Structure 1
Amino acid sequence: MIVVGSILWAAALLVIAASLAVAITSIRFRRPRLSLVTIAPVAIGLAGAAFLISVPAPSHAVAVIGGIGLALLGVVAGNPITVAVLAFADRGTGATVTDGHHGGIILKESRDGTRRDAEVLRGGTTIGYVERLVVIAAIVLGHLEIVAVLIAVKGLGRFSELDSPEIRERFIIGTLVSLAWAGACALLIVV
């Protein structure tokens, strides 16, 4: 049984490392849909935990390495996964959203009959990384109130930019996907 458990945990560490490599590759080559494959191992892990599938406990070193790997996966893969989901949400709307130079998105505005490009939600990429890191840390430490404060601060900080339906929609979808992904990875660390 010890050999089977060791093989199982070694395979789990390899899957986490491969998923992290896929996430980094999808960011590097701007192919966010590629990162969606990283959802499968996290979903399988969560399903195993939900159905109480019995596996031997890992050694302390394997648990620490796996936890760090899952935390990295939660922080890093959240970016391309969120981008892929936002692209899916924009599908069929005729919206052409382009990335801005400062981590935001370029929005075509025509309020008073003039057209201009405006970068909104600046720093969104960096904020996403930080928010996922905070969510994972809060869940692992058992302080969920930190997540509530994070959501409140993010909403208040972006309030002035949420003046159009398109921006609000992207903000809500992006935040929910990012938080859900970080929460799923953190849940795997805890269980």
Structure 2
Amino acid sequence: MLETLLALVVAHLLADFLFQSARMVANKRKPLWFAAHIAIVAGLTLALSGSLDPRVWLVIGVTHAAMDYIKIRWLGDGLRPFFIDQVFHLGVIAVVAVWRPDTVANGWIGDLDTEVQLFLYQGLAVIGGAVLSVRAGGVVVAKALETIAAPTVSRPDLQIRAETETLGLPGGGETIGALERALILLFLLIGQPEGIGLMLAAKSVLRFSDRNARAHTEYVIIGTMLSFGWALVSGVLTQAAVVHWG
């Protein structure tokens, strides 16, 4: 059953966070874009489960479409709707894994040698962990920070200074966060958690000065802690999966 659960969860992560582009998300209300996303969900489920049993990919595809429609139509796009959506999808996957526990064993993966199967399961665990940590983590952190008002500057002289100091590469913060989460996952997988401490220490060089700079620093640190925390949990889960199939 665990092999089936792994394959279905990784298929979901790939479909929702790697193969669903920003353009697809923006146009999801349009039938063709919506259908394309659901086709990707069903296709990846079919490919990674390795089974031609239509009950698996049809159930996941139909329920995914229903929940996505409800989210688009009524729930919105905040942090809470995001978690409701993901919990529902993962709940359906868990039910399917219990209902059809031998899906992967009866598919193309089950025809391979045991050592090759274990290697594939470890590979799926690492791929799923990377997507969960880097891509899904980026979405969670961004939505969480949307609930926190970004610091504002009231004094004109400080406004000019803040605008000068905060100029940076477009999307630089998101890229830095993604790299941080990727490195945390890597450090955990290679058994070098000390590297995480060094990264966190490097972040601590942010200093508090005046009130407005302090507000901005606190905003950045909140995002950093959210990112680090998500990456640590994702990394521990990934490490446990790799050890299980090791």
TM bracket (short chain): 0.5 to 0.7
Q: Deviations over 1:133-186 (max 9, x none)?
A: 111111111211101111111222x44888623212211210111001111111
2:166 is matched with: 120
1:142 is matched with: 191
Distance 1:66 1:148, change over 3 A: same
Q: Offset at 1:17? A: 2.2
TM-score (norm 1): 0.64
Structure 1 position 154 matched with structure 2 position 203 = yes
Distance 1:114 1:75, change over 3 A: closer
Q: Offset at 1:24? A: 4.8
TM-score (norm 2): 0.52
Please identify, of 143-152 and 56-65, the stretch whose mean Cα deviation from structure 2 is larger: 56-65
Distance 1:180 1:109, change over 3 A: same
Distance 1:109 1:129, change over 3 A: same
Higher strand share: 1
1:86 is matched with: 145
Please identify, of 140-149 and 110-119, the stretch whose mean Cα deviation from structure 2 is larger: 110-119
Counterpart contact for 1:78–1:182, Cα < 8 Å: yes
C-alpha RMSD of the superposition: 3.7
Could you tell me which amino acid in structure 1 is paired with residue 154 of structure 2? S
1:8 is matched with: 5
Could you tell me which amino acid in structure 2 is paired with residue 83 of structure 1? A
- Greater Cα radius of gyration, structure 1 or 2: 2
2:233 is matched with: 184
Counterpart contact for 1:16–1:70, Cα < 8 Å: no
Q: Deviations over 1:18-58 (max 9, x none)?
A: 342487549964x56465468649x98xxxxxxxxxxx997
2:136 is matched with: 77
CA distance in 1: counterparts of 2:187 and 2:5, whole angstroms: 28
2:153 is matched with: 109
Higher helix share: 2
Which consecutive residues of structure 1, in runs of 5 or more, have no partner in the other structure? 45-55, 91-96, 98-106
